[in-house]
Structure 1
Amino acid sequence: MPTRTMDKRDRLIHAAVRVVHEQGFGRTTLADIAATADVPLGNVYYYFKTKDALGAALVAEHAAHQEALQARWDEDPDPRARLKAFVRMTDGNRESLANFGCPIGTLCAELAKAGGPVADQASAIFTGLLAWLEVQFQALGCGADSRGLAIHLLSALQGVSLLAHSLNDPAYVTREAERLVAWLETLGAGEESRDR
């Protein structure tokens, strides 16, 4: 019985990830999620008493997914390759980004407007990603500039995601990803940042 319970909860969370990405958190109703997950609406209320509870589960799902990606990238011993994998993952999602924007970026922006604990939990995803990026730049020998380079890389990818979505053109993501990969090639042991 616990497996069935977890399966239904997981189905609801995965449905919420998809629907919220496509519609936004504010516009998504619990009924939308129930319909997408193909479960009765009452089941949503059983697992998530409030929309904030659903928001917290959604943020936790995104955070776990991001951590799993970072763990997979960390299997590569080369920090430059890890950074390129992050950039290429973004490019690999270019169609979705053009259609709906970045799932984490748009969710964080929307939740930040409302404030509160769920917004704080969501912002921790970016905090963790920035810390991971900084570690990669430190491993490349970028020293004190590593934090700034991490911010630069994440800002570039978030910015191009917004631009691609606003203009509904995934080619913007590909062009920026190519520029970022070329820029990453210019960084090396003992070198400070170079402008792209």
Structure 2
Amino acid sequence: MDRRVRASEKRRRLTAAAARVLHEQGIERTTLADIAREADVPVGNVYYYFKTKDELVRAALSEHRAHLDELTARLEESADPRDRLKGLVSAWVDRRETAARHGCPTGTLAAELDKRTDGTLDAEAGALIRHLLDWTAAQFRLLGLPDPDGHALTLVSAYQGMSLLANALRDPDVMTREGTRLLGWLDSLTPADG
């Protein structure tokens, strides 16, 4: 295998590991050694690819963005924007066990980063949430609903809330019950709604 391909693969493993470990343990509790162990890479190699923990956090945010882009691309295969939104809710519910253990990957990182005063990573986490809001609003807009941005905010807020509660209560059924409510809400919306 070519050296560049191996280096790219190693960086990719480190990025994926950073996203998982930072979500599971939080920024402050995670060490570079934790990420190296998860990626099955010698800890010294981490410094070759990422000079600081903040660079790893940025890579984790990039990984979360890639997952969101993959999900929305799959959802875009449906011609119906309502089905896309329902698919989004179903994808959230499918991750209920993870949410019950660790919360929403992006939401928990955003909350943790907001408490820091040493950088712009909180804004980058916010931009990722904004990306989800924009995609969601575009679906409501395609449905011809008034206030698509408001509907998007309601839907994404509901997801953040149900993820937080599932995590706080350690109860994945919170995601299932609230997901069912959201699906019913999406089915009830008509262009005359406001």
User: Would you say same fold, with TM above 0.5?
Assistant: yes
Residues 1:118 and 2:121 are matched in the alignment: yes
- Counterpart in the other structure of 1:174: 176
Say which is worse superposed, 36-45 or 174-183, in terms of deviation: 36-45
Q: What are the superposed Cα offsets for residues 120-157 of structure 1, whole Å, 9 maximum, x if unpaired? A: 111111111101111111111112x1111100000011
Alpha-carbon deviation of 1:72?
1.4
How many angstroms apart in 1 are the aligned matches of 2:41 and 2:184? 47
Unaligned 5+ residue runs, structure 1?
A: none
How many angstroms apart in 2 are the aligned matches of 1:123 and 1:45? 27
How many angstroms apart in 1 are the aligned matches of 2:66 and 2:41? 24
How many angstroms apart in 1 are the aligned matches of 2:184 and 2:124? 33
How many angstroms apart in 1 are the aligned matches of 2:37 and 2:130? 33
Say which is worse superposed, 173-182 or 111-120, in terms of deviation: 111-120
Moved over 4 A (4+): none
The TM-score normalised by the length of structure 2 is: 0.95
Aligned with residue 143 of structure 2, among 140, 144, 151: 140
- Counterpart in the other structure of 2:44: 42
How many angstroms apart in 2 are the aligned matches of 1:54 and 1:130? 25
One-letter identity of the residue aligned with 2:7: T
User: What is the count of residue pairs matched by the alignment?
Assistant: 191
- Counterpart in the other structure of 1:128: 131
1:69-84 equivalences under 5 Å are 69-84=71-86
**C-alpha contact (below 8 Å) 1:98/1:170 kept by paired residues:** yes
How many angstroms apart in 2 are the aligned matches of 1:26 and 1:89? 28
How many angstroms apart in 2 are the aligned matches of 1:105 and 1:175? 20
One-letter identity of the residue aligned with 2:192: E
Q: What are the superposed Cα offsets for residues 134-193 of structure 1, whole Å, 9 maximum, x if unpaired? A: 1111111112x11111000000111010000000000010000000101101112x2224
Alpha-carbon deviation of 1:117?
2.0
